Structure 1
Amino acid sequence: MNVLFIEDDMIETMKLQRAISKFQSKHKIIEAKNGEEAFDILKGESLPDIILLDLNMPRMSGIEFLTKIKSDEKLKYLPVIILTTSENRVDLLKCFEIGIAGYIIKPLKYEDYESKLKKVFDYWEISELIKG
């Protein structure tokens, strides 16, 4: 599975890489530090199967990125899963209103983080994905 991971925090990126290295299935992670960089990646020929998106980023917030991707005819069907520390109900509702596939709050304990990620990846491995 090809995953676009949009996150500006290097520690969070390393955490994700560490967690998925333990999974039995191998996934290709494409990293972007912000929404603008992610859009440059999405202009390429092959699209990711899913997008993991942080909300709090410089230049273009996660909600701005989400709004932009969902208004694009080519990209709007890509499943976007929010992976954030924000427990703000307004953020949660806004993201679902725009059209996300899931909203995951990053837990403080690494083991809990790994467990949540494993469930996300397991689900999307068996879900029918749009092949671009």
Structure 2
Amino acid sequence: MKELKRILLIEDSTNDAELILAALSENHLANEVVVVRDGEEALDYLYRRGLFRLRMEGNPVVVLLDLKLPKIDGLEVLAQIKSDQKMRLIPIVVLTSSREEPDLVRCYELGVNAYVVKPVDYHQFVDAIKGVGLFWAVINQPPPGALPPASYRQ
């Protein structure tokens, strides 16, 4: 059986998280999507600590990251992931409402793989998420280490 790759969604807006999950579902992506609500929780998930200390080993196939997060902001989360030898190959897609050039430049300086501005229009938003999900979860070949070890694969 082919393994379904996990997606980590880091989004503090309940409405945006629900829209993203619905858009991924509409595209018939059966991937497990783990949703965390702030930067601290995201890092706990990735480093398997706190509430996530017992989670399955392995990294998500892609991280969908909002920039404006409580506790630890998205830029800091991005910086920590991309500076960590064991995590820097995880693809990160920033999903943000920020059209600010400094945010865009800083994300690419830190090593982001894609920067997507959330469209305001509902249909455009859903289409953008479908495209992101399809590309990163199905079409893209993930780097080594982005998948759980073979012993955890279904």
TM value normalised by structure 2? 0.82
Aligned partner of 1:58 among 35, 56, 70 = 70
Aligned partner of 1:130 among 138, 143, 150 = 143
CA contact (8 A) 2:98 2:117 kept: yes
Aligned partner of 2:40 among 36, 41, 51 = 36
Deviation at 1:130, TM superposition (A): 2.3
Q: Which runs of 4+ in 1 moved over 6 A?
A: none
* Partner SS state of residue 112, structure 1: helix
Q: Which residue of the partner structure matches residue 84 of structure 1?
A: 96
Q: What are the within-5 Å matches in structure 2 for residues 77-116 of structure 1?
A: 77-116=89-128
**Percent identity (aligned):** 34
What is the RMSD computed on CA atoms of the aligned residues? 1.1
Structure 1: 5+ residue runs without aligned partners? none
TM value normalised by structure 1? 0.95
Higher RCO (CA-CA < 8 Å; seq separation 6+): 2
* Partner SS state of residue 30, structure 1: strand
Number of equivalenced pairs: 132
Structure 2: 5+ residue runs without aligned partners? 49-56, 146-154
CA contact (8 A) 2:27 2:134 kept: no
C-alpha separation in 2, matches of 1:100 and 1:49? 14
Deviation at 1:101, TM superposition (A): 0.6
Aligned residue identity for 2:29: S
